[in-house]
Amino acid sequence: MKAKLTVIILALFVISCGDDFTNLAPISQRNVDNFFTNANDFELALNGAYSALHLDGMYSQSLWVMFEMRSDNTDQGPDVTGLANELAVIHAFNENSLNQFLGDMYRDHYVLINRANVILDRIDGVQMNQTQRDHIRGQALFLRSLAYYNLSLAFANVPLILTEITDINQRITQSNRNAILQQVALDLATAEGLLPDAYPAGQLGRATKGAAASLLGKVHLTLGNNSEAETVLRRVLTMGYSLVTDYADLWGVGNSNNSESIFEVQYRSGGLGTGSPFTNYFSPSPLLQNGLGNARNRPTEEMWAAYEPGDSRRDVSMALTYVNPNTNAVVEARHILKYRSEPFQNNDSDINWPVIRYADVLLMLAEAIGESPEAYGLINQVRNRAGLSPIDANTPGSFEDKLLQERRVELAFENHRWADLLRFNRAVPAMQELGLNARLLFPIPQREIDVTPGFQQNPQ
């Protein structure tokens, strides 16, 4: 990321944080300095950091393109013309460094990182209640960690920027994935100690102690630190989360922030500019009242076949056909069901995005422990809800095969598949089964290479 871009990002931070900021003109470092005077200013700035999760380069678009469509779970669908080609080439591993979705992802994750850094650098200079200070700092560390975790998976070699950038001439260098994740692990351990177990009503969606611990467990697994992952994930088991009884009750507008939810990106419809686009992106047009479905992120045939007979999750997660409400004709079209709703208007739904669920934690803990009766017991908690019989060491296949399979069908279309394939070293063979030659890293956006001396492009 170039230093000049960071100044633009700072301006975006200022603009996004509310009316108190928009009254300050011109946008400048002095305006930011003058803004942070009390606890409410930091709460407003923190809201600005959370709002970055809605950006196109984050959960609203680029992440499902790069972490689901990249994998064997989904593809673009039959349309590969125009802008749709930018999606199709990602699934086919033919994207280049000018791809829009990669550029958006890189830019918007650094928008969030800079917003978090501004908060972290300035919060000790303002008088406020210590508990409130701890909660704000913990949330900023969690959000920055989440951004760096995603960037490390996608690009591996990116700048590790931990302080606010105020000098446009500041030198920026690349760090490798291991160094980034080690820093993220330190930050999440700190965040876990600062964050509460829960927040008062009306503050749903904020990062909690459980969110920090769960992401920390995932980071340790990615680093190969299974023992450390086991320790932290066992803590999450004591934090009051539980599987909902019916898998179907995880999805739909009325089921957000349930007992299984550890961290969700919160969306709110109603023409406020805060609604989610997933229903429109993933649904065939005739299924929506406004007819504005795009049918993107289409489940592959292999995804449908991955479910065992009798697995109740399949027909909750996806469908092969739909009934055209205008003609009553049955139309063949694979599509995702998890994010179905009736949007208030185009790309304006109340459907949240689940980032971390308790089922993910159970399966991660099984991974950390390794093959054992206890690990199978954790996997079987998830299988039992799906109506499936238990598995054990005598069930055909390696432990990793069985665990990766369970993660695939339990967490389908939730942005976990590409990360799982990388962590289990299965990306290349999984893509070969689709006739694709996998690349393990995305190209770093060309604009970053062009303007930053010494930046190295990822192998193509």
Distance, in Å, from the CA atom of 303 to the CA atom of 336, rounded to the nearest integer, reads 11
Tens-place pLDDT, residues 119-137: 999 999 899 999 999 999 9
Tens-place pLDDT, residues 80-94: 888 789 999 999 999
Q: Is residue 390 part of a domain?
A: no
User: 300 and 372 in contact (C-beta within 8 Å)?
Assistant: no
Q: Is residue 210 part of a domain?
A: no
Residue 42 pLDDT greater than 90, yes or no: yes
Distance, in Å, from the CA atom of 107 to the CA atom of 448, rounded to the nearest integer, reads 10
Q: Name residue 84's amino acid.
A: A
Other C-beta atoms lying within 10 Å of the C-beta of residue 73: 30
Residue 9 pLDDT greater than 90, yes or no: no
Looking at the structure, tell me whether residues 110 and 14 fall in a common domain: yes
The dihedral through the CA atoms of 196, 202, 207, 213 has a sign that is positive
Q: Name residue 427's amino acid.
A: A
Tens-place pLDDT, residues 257-312: 999 999 999 999 999 999 999 999 999 989 887 778 888 999 999 999 999 999 99
Looking at the structure, tell me whether residues 294 and 438 fall in a common domain: no
Looking at the structure, tell me whether residues 187 and 48 fall in a common domain: yes
Which residues partner with 349 through β-bridges? Answer: 276
Looking at the structure, tell me whether residues 176 and 46 fall in a common domain: yes
> Confidence class of residue 79 from pLDDT cuts 50, 70 and 90?
confident
pLDDT on residue 330 = 96
Please give the backbone phi and psi of residue 311, each rounded to the nearest 5 degrees, phi first. Answer: -75, 110
Specify the residue for token string 């989904």.
74
Looking at the structure, tell me whether residues 191 and 283 fall in a common domain: no
Looking at the structure, tell me whether residues 160 and 296 fall in a common domain: no
**SS3 state at 449:** helix
Looking at the structure, tell me whether residues 431 and 342 fall in a common domain: no
**DSSP states of 88-133 as a string?**
HHHHTT---TT-HHHHHHHHHHHHHHHHHHHHHHHGGGS---HHHH
Closest among 298, 235, 224, 291 to 64, alpha carbons compared: 298
Which of the pair, 10 or 174, is modelled with greater confidence?
174
Q: Is residue 457 part of a domain?
A: no
Distance, in Å, from the CA atom of 186 to the CA atom of 4, rounded to the nearest integer, reads 28
What is the b/e burial string over 194-230, where b = at least 16 CB atoms within 10 angstroms of the residue's CB?
bbbeeeeeeeebbbbbbbbbbbbbbbbbbbebeebbb
Looking at the structure, tell me whether residues 304 and 160 fall in a common domain: no
Looking at the structure, tell me whether residues 187 and 331 fall in a common domain: no
Tens-place pLDDT, residues 356-375: 999 999 999 999 999 999 99
Domain count, the chain: 2
**DSSP states of 28-40 as a string?**
SHHHHHHH--SHH
What are the respective helix, strand and coil percentages of the chain, to the nearest 5? Answer: 50, 10, 40
Q: Name residue 35's amino acid.
A: F
Residue 349 pLDDT greater than 70, yes or no: yes
Segments forming the whole domain that contains residue 316:
278-351
Read off the tokens for 351.
């459907």
**pTM of the predicted protein model:** 0.93
Read off the tokens for 246.
């019916």
Read off the tokens for 322.
């739909």
Looking at the structure, tell me whether residues 7 and 141 fall in a common domain: yes
Q: Is residue 93 part of a domain?
A: yes
Residue 116 pLDDT greater than 90, yes or no: yes
Where does residue 382 fall: left (phi above 0), alpha (psi -120 to 50 degrees), or beta otherwise? alpha
Distance, in Å, from the CA atom of 345 to the CA atom of 292, rounded to the nearest integer, reads 9
Tens-place pLDDT, residues 232-259: 999 999 999 999 999 999 999 999 999 9
CATH of the domain at 14: 1.25.40.390
Distance, in Å, from the CA atom of 12 to the CA atom of 7, rounded to the nearest integer, reads 9
Residue 16 pLDDT greater than 60, yes or no: no
pLDDT on residue 107 = 97
The dihedral through the CA atoms of 99, 100, 106, 107 has a sign that is positive
Tens-place pLDDT, residues 138-149: 999 999 999 999
Which of the pair, 243 or 18, is modelled with greater confidence?
243
Average pLDDT over all residues of the chain: 91
Looking at the structure, tell me whether residues 159 and 33 fall in a common domain: yes
pLDDT on residue 31 = 62
Q: Could you say which of 310, 331, 351 is where a domain stops?
A: 351
Residue 27 pLDDT greater than 90, yes or no: no
Q: Is residue 378 part of a domain?
A: no
Q: Could you say which of 351, 375, 402 is where a domain stops?
A: 351
Which of the pair, 333 or 9, is modelled with greater confidence?
333
Q: Is residue 384 part of a domain?
A: no
Distance, in Å, from the CA atom of 104 to the CA atom of 91, rounded to the nearest integer, reads 17
Looking at the structure, tell me whether residues 145 and 284 fall in a common domain: no
Specify the residue for token string 């299984």.
260
Q: Could you say which of 351, 384, 406 is where a domain stops?
A: 351
Q: Is residue 413 part of a domain?
A: no
Which of the pair, 180 or 6, is modelled with greater confidence?
180
pLDDT on residue 169 = 79
Read off the tokens for 179.
């160094």
Q: Is residue 231 part of a domain?
A: no
Q: How much of the chain exceeds pLDDT 70, in percent? A: 93
